[in-house]
Amino acid sequence: MKTTIPKLRRMIRKTLTEALNKDGLDPNHLEDLAEWIAINTEAGMEQGKEETINSYIEACADSRPPEIVDYEFVAAHLDSIIDKHPSIVDEGGFVIDLEARDSEEEY
């Protein structure tokens, strides 16, 4: 089977379009990063933006199979989450999930 360069470009463009949302962000990473923040909040291990980004990068590298994400990629996803997620905020220099914090305080 012979694939031409234009056809290959169309295939790549279609794959990327399907994998990313309208902001160019990966929905899976948006979900995983939001969950990462909730878990840290529940554990009482809230982190600042820099620490959240770095710890998520490290967690991705340690996952099976390992995922390599860079600082700018994670920072863009974190900024989007802080702007759009109903319960995740940057409060007092820490990125926290208000719902997770509230459920932790109930116990």
Tens-place pLDDT, residues 42-59: 999 999 999 999 999 999
Residue numbers of the domain that contains 47: 21-106
Distance CA 22, CA 25 (A): 7
Instruction: Specify whether the CB–CB gap between 90 and 49 falls below 8 A.
Output: yes
Kindly state the percentage of the chain with pLDDT values over 70: 84
Structure tokens given for 59: 């967690």
pTM: predicted TM-score of the whole model, two decimal places: 0.77
Structure-block tokens of residue 16: 């990327």
Task: State the total domains in the chain.
Answer: 1
> Does residue 10 lie in a domain region?
no
Cis-peptide, bond into residue 27, ω within 30° of zero = no
Whether the CA torsion 40, 41, 42, 44 is positive or negative: it is positive
For residue 15, being part of any structural domain is answered with no
